[in-house]
């Protein structure tokens, strides 16, 4: 588990208000433990993704939920294909 302090040290450009909003919107999950927020590694990577979408690809706050939803769908589909035994580069033809 990653503490809030470690998360903020890892992503120095992360604004506390943004993180609170992302948690409230459900983009990032956090757990309260001993009066402190902690994050799983996958949620830290989600923070990285959101920051990259905003900074590198100029995805604004209005488009962010749409982009995240589409990415979640792509990852879920890839996972289901993997579980079904389809190779990453598609079925052999």
Q: In the chain, pLDDT over 70 holds for what percent of residues?
A: 96
Alpha-carbon gap, residue 30 to 24, rounded angstroms: 10
Q: In the chain, pLDDT over 90 holds for what percent of residues?
A: 88
pLDDT per residue as tens digits for the range 23-43: 999 999 999 998 899 999 999
Cβ-contact 29, 23 below 8 angstroms: yes
| 2-83 CATH pick, 1.10.10, 1.10.8, 2.30.110, 1.10.1660 | 1.10.1660
Domain segments of the chain: what residues?
Answer: 2-83
Cβ-contact 68, 50 below 8 angstroms: yes
pTM: 0.84
DSSP letter string, 14-61: --HHHHHHHHHHTSS--EEETTEEEE-HHHHHHHHHHHHHHHTS---T
């Amino acid at each position: 588990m990653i503490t809030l302090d470690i998360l903020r040290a890892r992503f120095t450009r992360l604004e506390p208000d943004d993180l609170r909003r992302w948690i409230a919107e459900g983009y990032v999950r956090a757990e309260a433990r001993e009066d402190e927020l902690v994050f799983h590694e996958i949620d830290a990577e989600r923070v990285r993704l959101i920051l990259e979408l905003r900074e590198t690809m100029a995805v604004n706050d209005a488009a962010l939920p749409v982009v995240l939803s589409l990415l979640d769908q792509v990852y879920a589909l890839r996972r289901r294909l993997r579980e079904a035994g389809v190779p990453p580069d598609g079925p052999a033809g």
